[in-house]
Structure 1
Amino acid sequence: MGITWSLFFPPPPNITERNLQSQNGKVFIVTGGYSGIGFELCKILYQAGGKVYLAGRSEEKAQAAIAEIKSLPLKNTLSTEAGDILFLSISLDDLKTIKPAVDTFTASESRLDVLFNNAGVSNPPQGSVSSQGHELQLATNCLGPHLFTQLLLPTLQKTARSSPSASVRVIWTGSIVVDLSAPKGGPSIADFEQPSTDQQRNYTNSKLGNWYLAKGLAEQAGGDGILSLAQNPGNLKTALVRHMPAIVPIIVRPLLYSANYGAYTALWTAFSKELTIDDGGKYVLPWGRLHPSPRADLLEAMKSGEDGTAGNGAKFVEFCDRHIGDFR
């Protein structure tokens, strides 16, 4: 009961736009950066002196967001000069666009300090699919970010070689549904191969999939000094609920916080010095704290399978690897 209560009423944030250390010389990518949490993240990182790539499908929306961010007064008290912010074209629901986006990025940059896999979709109309025919939430929330991360991994590894351990990070975006409604033991591969007609169930499965991918990357790249974590950003007033019945936002509004609070969760996950490489694959709660008691059945599902008994989490990472293989 204590954890559930704190998901709706979290303790105060520790890292905000006012006290984030200067990020001068650091490079970041934020997917879905022109609205909601992504917009707030881009604004805070830019004002802290970082070089930010706002990644998304709409250049028009991105350029409008960039212009707005650049027009805002600085709030960071530890940084005297803003950084830079640029648009990076990518459609996470079209795997063909992802390698070109990475090629564009690496043609200009030789480092990447934090990748925020922030973009996502929730409860689109039933039957919505990606360009490759995958259920849209699986594609946008899991397959696209997984491919993007794998293609950026050489740059992350290069950056980690000249950086303190665990300072180079990949942040995956989960949800409150991981704690409250994920199926016991996690979804099976059949649940992804044959998606439900219940879009909320598909959304829940994709958000647990983000944690699976965070854990898989931690095992893959933790030895390189890269810290991979999943986080529940919090219950927020964002466009993520735009596909839900109109009554839903009205009912839950008293429990929702402004999008900047979700950015605070991401900031703690990306910059907290409390975290070490041994925390790879763990789950962060609003507004920045490690989950003290994740569900035992979900932890069991994330066993790596070294003894030949891979859980649903390890199988899901293999499933994603198969589906991105032709686009690497």
Structure 2
Amino acid sequence: MFRVAHAFVTEGFPPKSQFGVDDIQDLTGKVAIVTGSNTGVGKETVKALLNHNAKVYLAARNPEKAEQAIKDLKEETGKEAVFLKLDLSDLKSVKSSAEEFISKEKELHILFNNAGVMHCPVSEVTAQGYDLQFGTNVLGHFYFTKLLLPVLISTAKLTPEGKTRIINTSSIMSRVGSLNFNTLKDGPTRKKQFSGTLYCQSKLGNAMISNEFAKRYGDQGIISVACNPGNLDTDLLRHLPSLMQRLMRLIIHPSSQGALTQLWAGTTEEGLTMNGKYLVPWARLGEPNPLALDESLRDELWKWLEEQVESV
């Protein structure tokens, strides 16, 4: 408990970042995808990438909101992101999105698995009947990444450093998460859970699967990193009770701050040494929930995820 409490203090009230967006190297020729990037941290991440000359696919489920974000970003940066329709709560949409990208691009240098939902009503499930938070945050991103792995691996062979990157958004709440396989799909056990418990579980899942991608594909040039972006003022707060929202706003930071840690991992030379690491605000190495380091539990989760997507 002391370790968890210490983490909540040090990660919730981080020191000033030693990394800033001006430290990003020129990204000319690099192709990136940022999921959930029509708003918040994702949009700030796209902005920074565009400003450093990357070609960026803005992956989101709502075309109208995405197109508005692309327009806003062009006005701010002079560069235009490319819309990629992606609904992570529907595995068929995930498959279509990956296929669309592969039909357009032969290379992918950075995949930011940034999208997420938080504290949704427990009654809400994905198109295939999974818990909405786990289905979106973990299963959807797992399947999207799995489908894009061939292009990530082939791209790594073409780069001077022989590496490509997968940056996975976790959360400080992963530290108090545990994994109950009986709650991942809809059913009586899941319905008895609190939304917050299901959210913590999904964020632990993000860290676990990030580490498993690192273990399984590190020797093929994949750098897989999990990040806690920080306590941020984003749309994720919308499902919290009003009192909790007001309390949260006393300790949260601008979404532009939340982009720093994943940009540090995704764009710098130092990021190439971070395979299997867990990062904390702002742009620092941290320690994950010990369950994220449990290889047997990670392997069990990986096998479950594989079973869910094998017939999509």
Q: TM-score range by the shorter chain?
A: over 0.9
> For residue 286 of structure 1, what is the aligned residue in structure 2?
281
- Give matches, 1:1-328, under 5 Å: 2-72=6-76, 74=77, 83-165=79-161, 167-179=163-175, 181-182=176-177, 186-193=178-185, 194-195=189-190, 196-276=192-272, 279-291=274-286, 293-295=287-289, 297-300=290-293, 302-303=294-295, 310-311=296-297, 313-327=298-312
| Letter in structure 2 aligned against 1:285 | V
> 1:215 deviation in Å?
1.0
Q: Which residues of structure 1 form unaligned runs of 5+?
A: 75-81, 304-309
Contact 1:30–1:54 (Cα < 8 Å) also in 2: yes
SS state at 1:14 partner: coil
SS state at 2:311 partner: helix
SS state at 1:242 partner: helix
SS state at 2:279 partner: strand
Instruction: With the length of structure 1 as denominator, give the TM-score of the two structures.
Output: 0.88
RMSD over equivalenced CA pairs, Å: 1.7
Contact 1:214–1:228 (Cα < 8 Å) also in 2: yes
SS state at 2:119 partner: coil
C-alpha separation between the residues in 2 aligned to 1:17 and 1:276? 17
1:223-265 deviation per Cα after TM superposition (whole angstroms, max 9, x unaligned): 1111001110000000101111011121121210000011111
C-alpha separation between the residues in 2 aligned to 1:2 and 1:251? 20
Q: Once structures 1 and 2 are overlaid, which stretch shifts more, 13-22 or 200-209?
A: 13-22
What is the count of residue pairs matched by the alignment? 304
C-alpha separation between the residues in 2 aligned to 1:137 and 1:32? 14
C-alpha separation between the residues in 1 aligned to 2:241 and 2:277? 32
> 1:12 deviation in Å?
2.1
Contact 2:113–2:169 (Cα < 8 Å) also in 1: yes
C-alpha separation between the residues in 1 aligned to 2:181 and 2:67? 39
What is the percentage of aligned positions where both structures have the same residue?
36
C-alpha separation between the residues in 1 aligned to 2:184 and 2:63? 31
C-alpha separation between the residues in 1 aligned to 2:68 and 2:283? 29
C-alpha separation between the residues in 1 aligned to 2:143 and 2:109? 18
* CA 299–119 in structure 1, closer or farther in 2 if over 3 Å, else same: closer
C-alpha separation between the residues in 2 aligned to 1:148 and 1:130? 15
> 1:165 deviation in Å?
4.0
C-alpha separation between the residues in 1 aligned to 2:160 and 2:284? 21
Instruction: With the length of structure 2 as denominator, give the TM-score of the two structures.
Output: 0.92
